[in-house]
A and B are shown apart, each in its own frame.
Chain A
Amino acid sequence: MASTLGKPTIEHTNPLARTLLEKLDYDQLTNCMRCGFCLPACPTFKETGMEPASPRGRIALMKAAVDGLMVPDQQFEDQMNLCLGCRACEPACPADVKYGQLIEQTKEAIEEHAKHSLPVKVMRKTIFRTLFPKRGAMKLLGGSLAFYQKSGLQKVAKSTGMMKLFPDHLAEMEGILPPASSKGVVERLGEFYPAKGEAIAKVAMFRGCIMDVMFANTNVNTVELLSAAGFDVYIPKSQVCCGALHAHSGEMNDARELAAVNIDTFKSLNVDYIVSNAGGCGAILVEYDHLMKDDQKYSENAAWFASRVIDVSTLVVEKGRIPRFDQKIASSDQQKVKVTYQDSCHLRNVMKGSSAPRTLMKQIENAEYIEMVESDSCCGSAGVYNVVQPEMAGTILEHKMEYANQTAASYMLTSNPGCLLQMKLGIEKHKPEQPMTAMHIVDFLHERMIFSK
């Protein structure tokens, strides 16, 4: 893109408009030429059919607010918050408009002006400042959740109908949560796990916070898969939350603080790759260079970091020795087991990692990979979207499950914890005709991995 002619000189009286003018990249706003190619890619446009609920519409609203053509009001904020942030519009955009950055900048501006009620303020502070950034708090939550699940309390809560006191969508989510654990991957495997056979490269694993509490087994399996594929795996203890949820909620400064810790941690290990097994985390990790571009101290190391981030499937397929996988056939049924896949939007649209998971699934002996219609379209999970926008998330999921059921697959694989939970919820709510199990692709592969030695 050629040099910029800058922003308009407007004195806004509306404070949000002022902040939007300050934060939004006006060149990107101008680059949108309104061709409309993004519309069919957008899940909220698909569901509503309304122009304002499309990427082109939202960019027009942002630009109108900055240009003074409209005053950004509550409806403006609501429309921006209705965006899933799946970024399916980006690969669809021939003009290469960085929509993800625009929506992030808009949310940051909105957040700066938000007048949250006291309980919401306290909750946001707890979640963003205490829970996610701090390992201890996360582990404690994992421990409590595990206690809740194992002690029988969960059963009591369910049988007494206590969950009915919560909003429906939260109660539904509670029902599909996997067994949590206070023991994460480092506690189980230590900080280093060597490669099987000659080491191809030195990699560090990004363990994630939700992943390491809710899906600690997946993290362990990821390490073992990487080792089997020929990688020396480091799992530095001092890594922190990736900051994705903060960034998507407009808490950019918090996101940058977390990024700084992670950059320092991984840089000191001097690894060849930084591996993620969660699309949502990976997408912000791979954009740390953009996140830190105005930070002189960190911009160079952030670029070092970002250039090394890779999804586990992509690393195994493109750089590793792919292990052998075999699906044992049940003796009574000679048919191949059918497997399908829901793309993680962030893995697909930001990390460009849609082909490797498919390559791996097709490698499994005695299993048949079936492509789901619109597998590339968001499932409605999108970080905390299904919690804050339950209605739209529910509609999207309903349509998703129609396609899921058409595949008649026994396994629905995913590459991100949010998508995995959402697919579990979908299977629970819209029961397919045949039994279907949702799994992280790594767990599925790990179960079928033939260990050579």
Chain B
Amino acid sequence: MLNEVLAKQLREIVGEKYFRTDQEALVAHSYDGTPMLQALPDGVIYPETTEQVCEIMKIASASLIPIITRGSGSNLCGGTTPLQGGIVMVMHRMNKILEIDMENLTATVQPGAITGKFIAHVEGMGLFYPPDPSSMKISTIGGNIAECSGGLRGLKYGTTKDYVLGLTAVLPNGSVIHTGGKLTKDVAGYDLTKLLVGSEGTLAVITEAILKLIPQPKTKKTMIAMYKDIYGAARTVSKIIKGQIIPATLEILDNTTIRVVDDFAKIGLPLDMAAILIIEQDGEPEMVERDIDTIFNICKEEQADRIEIAATREEAEKLLTARRSAFTALARLRPTTILEDATVPRSKIADMILRTNAIAQKHNVNIATFGHAGDGNLHPTATTDARDHEEVHRVEEAFAEIFEAAIELGGTITGEHGVGVVKAPYLEWKVGAAGIEVMKGIKVAFDPLNILNPGKVFAKETKKRVVIQHG
């Protein structure tokens, strides 16, 4: 697919060092954070400017070379694994924060900027960018936009899509589009900004983003409620929302997760509890006090065994950081950790946990559950071993039933990780055949030659829905 002439042209665009076809580069870009997926690309390219991206896309179009854009490759849906070969385009060199506009409260950034560093930068200026995926220490803004990442603050503040105001993006034919801008109101035509957010690198290459910033909340308070009964924890979640309190963070960890997280973070989590809730509220001091009081009482009503309020900001941060490590910490149990992303309406959290546990038992697989309970986004996570094919098959069957259950409860197959290749066979369950057709039409309009991240989002075949026994 890649001959010497093309390689030479690509090297002329980005410089000798930044287009690589050596073994080392190919292997190191053959994977992302998704287990059990690996495929070698034909080349790896590191552009530095939008113009370079345009030139690269023209060559890719002319020669029908697949382009897979990626940031740090921490995604969990196989979205950046080059399953059909082609060129992996690493956006790390385009990592500048171009502008913080204090008058419009916007930031203009390049896609390779590390999310955590960007957040620290704007917080240093007294502003707030709420989307905080657990991987933010390493993930990039571009990757977050491509996958429409969520995080621990999604409940109150929304996810990445709620903070992207405008984009510069390169189409597969090399032309550049600018969508949105530093505008709060803009209804000129279809909302291409929203369309590109979460498009998983299948429509265009994002090379610049204008992000919305908001004022920093004045205070924060963090608490932890511990339960002997996981359903008490789940009912607490529903009751808090029903009580019209929207905490900034409302996370649930089951016993298995508590144990591995504490093994890693060593912060003295209660190992004997069936579940804990980590709850944070921010805002005006009086409101925070009032909300935390009310939540405290709800926790008690639902038989929380112990409730503690973090004494210092450091203590709270430790708790949240430990929670962010939950997914990888589960790898301490078994070599392969398959984390899923089933999401249900918030009132159905308890039902979903019950169903998940029953399904795990039925298929005899280990599934730990944690997640953003407050926004209904659960991460049932199977701990298994990729080398045990029979068990992995059972895990897959269990997950198919979990997705089915999520949809039955009015939920979705992915809340924040994206479809990629892993969820592609299930997408039709959520959006229907007509929905898929519309999406495919959009894909053709942007990328008629199908060179951008081919094989992702749309599966060759939809997986057959299993019939779930009710009652």
Contact = CB atoms under 8 A, between A and B. Distances in A.
Interface in B326-378: 326-329, 331-337
Interface in B56-103: 72-74, 90, 92-93
A31 interface: yes
A60 B30 contact: yes
Interface in B37-55: 38, 40
Interface stretch (A68-76, A171-179, A277-285): A68-76
A81 to B, nearest CB: 13
B387 interface: yes
B388 interface: yes
A35 B24 contact: no
A37 B328 contact: yes
B28 A36 contact: no
A1 B332 contact: yes
Contact of A96 (B29, B332, B334): B332
B24 A75 contact: yes
A51 B28 contact: yes
Contacts of B23: 70-71, 73, 75-76
A94 B328 contact: yes
Nearest to A38: B138
B331 A36 contact: no
Nearest to B322: A94
A30 interface: yes
Contacts of B325: 37, 94
B386 interface: yes
B329 A95 contact: yes
A68 to B, nearest CB: 12
B386 A40 contact: no
B264 A70 contact: no
A5 B28 contact: no
Interface in A40-77: 40, 49-52, 57, 60-61, 64, 69-71, 73, 75-76
Given A31-B335, A95-B332, A61 B24 contact: yes
B385 interface: yes
A69 B331 contact: no
B455 interface: no
Interface string A72-106: 01011001000000000000011110000000000
Given A52-B25, A70-B23, A36 B138 contact: yes
A225 interface: no
Contacts of B336: 30, 33
Contacts of B34: 34
A39 interface: yes
B403 interface: no
A30 B28 contact: no
A120 interface: no
B35 interface: yes
Nearest to A73: B23
A41 to B, nearest CB: 9
Contacts of B264: 94, 96
Interface in B1-44: 22-35, 38, 40
B135 A79 contact: no
Given A40-B137, A40-B138, A51 B73 contact: yes
Nearest to A97: B331
A2 interface: yes
B24 to A, nearest CB: 5
B335 A37 contact: no
Contacts, number: 110
Nearest to A27: B335
Contact of A33 (B93, B116, B138, B331): B331
A36 B74 contact: yes
Contact of A36 (B27, B33, B337, B387): B33
B24 A76 contact: yes
Contacts of A64: 27, 30
B335 to A, nearest CB: 4
Given A75-B22, A94-B331, A36 B72 contact: yes
Given A49-B92, A71-B23, A95-B329, A2 B334 contact: yes
A94 B139 CA distance: 16
A39 B138 contact: yes
Contact of A95 (B25, B331, B388): B331
A30 B335 contact: yes
A52 B22 CA distance: 11
Contacts of B116: 40
A33 B35 contact: yes
B72 A95 contact: no
Most A CB within 10 A of own CB, among B23, B26, B135: B23
A346 B33 CA distance: 28
Contacts of B73: 34, 36, 51
A75 B21 CA distance: 13
A40 B326 CA distance: 18
Contacts of A6: 387
Nearest to A79: B24
Interface in B119-159: 135, 137-139
B27 A33 contact: no
Contact of B28 (A2, A52, A93): A52
Nearest to B92: A49
B33 A70 contact: no
A71 B34 CA distance: 24
B93 to A, nearest CB: 7
Contact of B31 (A2, A34, A75): A34
A69 B27 CA distance: 8
A51 B29 contact: yes
Contacts of B30: 60, 64, 69
A252 B337 CA distance: 33
Contacts of A79: 24
A49 B93 contact: yes
Nearest to A93: B328
Contacts of A61: 24, 27-28
A50 B72 CA distance: 10
A35 B381 CA distance: 14
A76 B23 CA distance: 9
A35 B385 contact: no
Contact of A35 (B27, B328, B332): B328
Nearest to B334: A2
A2 B138 CA distance: 29
Interface of B: 22-35, 38, 40, 72-74, 90, 92-93, 114, 116, 135, 137-139, 263-264, 325-329, 331-337, 385-388
Sorted nearest first, the 9 A-B pairs with minimum C-beta distance are A95-B331, A94-B328, A5-B387, A94-B325, A94-B329, A52-B28, A51-B28, A30-B335, A57-B28
Interface of A: 1-2, 5-6, 27, 30-31, 33-37, 39-40, 49-52, 57, 60-61, 64, 69-71, 73, 75-76, 79, 93-96
Given A37-B325, A52-B24, A95-B331, 8 more contacts: A2-B335, A27-B335, A33-B35, A36-B72, A40-B137, A52-B27, A70-B24, A94-B331
15 contacts: A1-B334, A2-B333, A2-B335, A31-B331, A34-B31, A36-B72, A52-B28, A57-B28, A64-B27, A70-B24, A73-B23, A79-B24, A95-B331, A95-B337, A96-B332
